[in-house]
Amino acid sequence: MKMISPAAAAPAVVSLPLAETNAAGAIFAAAGLLLPHLERGERIDAPKLRAAMEAAFGASDAAGAWNWKQAYDACEAATILFLGKYGKPLFRKAASADARLSALSKIAGLMPTHTRRSEDAQTFQQFSTPIPLGLVAATAAAITPADRVLEPSAGTGLLAILAEIAGASLVLNELAETRAALLSSLFPAVPVTRFDAAQIDDHLDTAAVPSVVLMNPPFSVMANVEGRIADAAWRHIASALARLAPGGRLVTITGANFTPDHAAWTPAFTRLQERGRIVFSAAINGAVYAKHGTTYATRLTIFDGVPADDPGVFSTAILGVAPDAATLLEWVSEHVPAAAGHHARRRNPHILFGRTPPRARLSSAHGAANTAILVGCPGGRRAHL
């Protein structure tokens, strides 16, 4: 384990280059300009997005002032601003996970599809978690206000905001400079570190021990390493699992082929189970990511922070391919056991992200029809969902 000085362990966002900080500030400003559209339930199309970006950056993309990757980050930041403002009342009104998924899917539907890819997004695999998929991951984690949630590759914070809505404290890390600075604006009370998440356990302060890890690591790239790294996701998960508190829960999104029943990955999962046992794994149709500019099939895998009795035996529920987030949520509700250890003992059936008991769950058809939820806003205003 590499030892670092306290100075190196401090949140690196304070030393960001001015250009990166300015870009993040402009993206944050653009998100603020987009927020009223979400509050009115208006779709953010290309003209609206372009107008917000030109106002925030003071010039056009044609002039080189900004790019469409930054514009899409502004959309994600606007989603976080919306959920930070209205998420808790929304989730109180939407009493079931199905209803919450329906509401978040409607918000996601207001966003433009990421049709213009940047070189950085491709090179560093910066594909943020779609908010409906994030809701499934957060539900699987069963986050409580007593939890400390680590997101090792936090991106723009689409997973972190769901943990914040549940009342958890956050530990945020993001290596990319602009995104780290943007996170500091979106979550001003949370220090943001800038470590390589593949070695997150080596670098975080020893006191930062999460009871929950939510993660969507790069699938096959590593910081400061050229070319494809086949086991990149495994390295990220192994380091995060090493940091997880005993009895905690780690929920990760990976490529669909990263599964214990794939012969090439069986030895890797055997090593992971020496520290935490797999309790659920299911692939997800690539259509879930279509709005984010890719149709690459992914997988949701859940580890509990208790070593497996026999690391070479995988008794978990390894399911097929969920065609959509609603199906995946149903599978999570039916097949994911209560979390192990102390995390399970503090479970409250009324918490925002506790898995809904079967008798209280809505059918997918009912949930899809129940999207017109009005959330009370400060000053008597309402956000239309």
Task: Give the pLDDT confidence of 4-55 residue by residue, as tens digits.
Answer: 333 333 334 334 444 556 999 999 999 999 999 999 999 999 999 999 999 9
The DSSP code for 67 is: -
Contact 383, 39 (CB under 8 A): yes
| pLDDT at residue 346, rounded to an integer | 47
Helix (H) or strand (E) holding 280: strand 277-284
Domain boundaries 6-12+86-384, corresponding CATH code? 3.40.50.150
Residue 120: pLDDT above 60? no
CA 133/CA 288 separation, integer angstroms: 8
Contact criterion met (CB below 8 Å) for 156 and 183: yes
Given a cut of 70, whether residue 245 has pLDDT beyond it is yes
Q: DSSP code of 221?
A: -
pLDDT bracket for residue 378 (50, 70, 90): very low
Instruction: Locate the domains of the chain by residue range.
Output: 6-12+86-384
Q: Residue 293 above 90 pLDDT?
A: no
Cα-based distances in Å from 160 to 1, 148, 221 = 27, 11, 22
pLDDT in tens, 325-347: 999 999 999 999 988 754 443 44
Return d(Cα 190, Cα 213) in angstroms, integer.
16
pLDDT category at 135 given cuts 50, 70, 90 is: very high
CA distances from 246 to 41, 192, 273 (A): 43, 24, 13
Placement of tokens 């997101």 in the chain: 151
DSSP E strand stretches across 133-210 = 148-151, 169-173, 192-193
Confidence of residue 218 (pLDDT cuts 50, 70, 90): confident
Task: Kindly tell me if the per-residue pLDDT of 373 is higher than 50.
Answer: no
Structure tokens at 36: 């009223």
Structure tokens belonging to residue 385: 């969902």
User: Residue 248: which of 175, 143, 152 has the closest Cα?
Assistant: 143
